[in-house]
Chain A
């Protein structure tokens, strides 16, 4: 049973515009949420996280929003750059493990 879901397998955005990547989860016990970025032939790299006690966390061009009542989080990238083109994984944790979504491939068009 997939506890973390990313329903959009791909997203294309024009350079300079906003990219919004979405993630839904089912387990209300999750207390931290993370986003990882993955380039081809590389392992995932940590991007940004948010605690369940917050509803927003910002780091430069990246902002994560958490809506606990909807069990939904999103990653906003503004402005999008061609170097942001990668697969983005949403992940959640509540114990000693991370549960990952299936990923969204973001393509930023120059």
Chain B
């Protein structure tokens, strides 16, 4: 399978615990994005990387959230001291940077669903 893969697919945790999600993009893709989708809403942008550089962060990304992409390959999204409001589907997507960004063609993974009890 050469698509975007995310792990774990589903995580249940207690409030206050830390969780980490991993995303492996399509191998030749330089851009990697994290989105969050809550029930009844469309995906909301969190952050994106160009290779290993984190170029933009949404104000939705509070101090409890941190994302990394060491070596410009896989990425991790960590949520510290989880709250019930963090319950959502966390989507990772990747794209080729040399394609005109304005085509907006992102390839999404299947997502990691977080449930905070």
Give the residues in chain A near B108, CB-CB below 8 Å: 36, 43-45
Residue in chain A with minimal CB distance to B10: A41
- The yes or no answer to B114 lying at the interface (CB within 8 A) is no
A97 to B45, CA, bound (A): 7
Identify which of B4, B40, B101, B102 contacts A43 (C-beta below 8 A).
B4
Contacting residues of chain B (40-62) with chain A, CB-CB under 8 angstroms: 40-45, 48, 55-56
Give the residues in chain A near B41, CB-CB below 8 Å: 102-103
Interface residues on B, range: 20 to 34
User: Are B43 and A44 neighbours in the complex by a CB distance under 8 Å?
Assistant: yes
- The yes or no answer to A100 lying at the interface (CB within 8 A) is yes
Identify which of B40, B42, B56, B111 contacts A100 (C-beta below 8 A).
B42
A13 to B71, CA, bound (A): 48
Give the residues in chain B near A34, CB-CB below 8 Å: 104-105
Name which of B43, B93, B110 has the most chain A CB atoms within 10 A of its CB.
B43
Please report the total number of A residues contacting B with Cβ < 8 Å: 26
User: Are A100 and B104 neighbours in the complex by a CB distance under 8 Å?
Assistant: no
- The yes or no answer to A4 lying at the interface (CB within 8 A) is yes
Give the residues in chain B near A36, CB-CB below 8 Å: 108
Shortest CB-to-CB span from B55 to chain A, Å, is 7
Starting from the known contacts A49-B105, A51-B102, 11 additional A-B residue pairs (CB-CB under 8 Å) come to A32-B103, A41-B110, A44-B91, A46-B106, A91-B104, A93-B101, A93-B104, A96-B101, A97-B56, A98-B43, A100-B42
Residue ranges of B at the interface with A (Cβ–Cβ < 8 Å): 4, 40-45, 48, 55-56, 91, 93, 101-111
Rank and list the top 10 A-B pairs by shortest CB-CB distance, nearest first: A100-B42, A43-B108, A93-B104, A32-B102, A97-B45, A100-B43, A34-B104, A44-B108, A43-B110, A89-B42
